[in-house]
Amino acid sequence: MTSSAGSHDVVVVHTGGCHCRRVRWRVEAPASIVAWVCNCSDCSMRGNTHFVVPAAKFRLQAGADESVTTYTFGTHTARHTFCKVCGITSFYTPRSNPDGVAVTVACVDPGIVWVIYLL
């Protein structure tokens, strides 16, 4: 862990993935995260709540890319990725931040997140 001014600035490595565990990833992000309830038509239907990190802070684990497929619609800027086996969207590229990765809060492994602030 690295720390800056206060406990809300502590950066940790979160791990997570899909239900069947074929898609696994790691992401560097604060232990206290700010998450959004996405209102796009796809996320609204799934009830997705996510936090966004720069793409450089997100890494798929070895072999996970073989189990990922992508759905796009509208402007095709957002890239909704999901597991080919269990169908879970544990991360995706948001239209609002195409240089980042939106991580689904419910797909983060338990034990690392301190606080979730919903916007």
> What is the reported pLDDT for 70?
94
> What is the reported pLDDT for 15?
97
Q: Which residues pair with 27 in a beta bridge?
A: 14, 58
pLDDT at 7 over 90: no
Distance from chain centroid for Cα 57: 11
Percentage of the chain lying above the pLDDT 90 cut: 64
pTM of the model as a whole: 0.86
How many residues belong to the chain?
119
Q: Is residue 2 part of a domain?
A: no
d(CA 7, CA 9): 5
Q: Which of 18-22, 71-75, 115-119 has the highest mean pLDDT?
A: 18-22
Q: Is residue 43 part of a domain?
A: yes
Q: Is residue 63 part of a domain?
A: yes
Structural domain of 26 = 7-118
pLDDT tens-digit map of 38-89: 888 888 888 899 999 999 999 999 878 899 999 999 999 889 999 999 999 9
CB count within 10 Å of CB 61 equals 14
CATH of the domain at 75: 2.170.150.70
Q: Is residue 1 part of a domain?
A: no
Q: Is residue 24 part of a domain?
A: yes
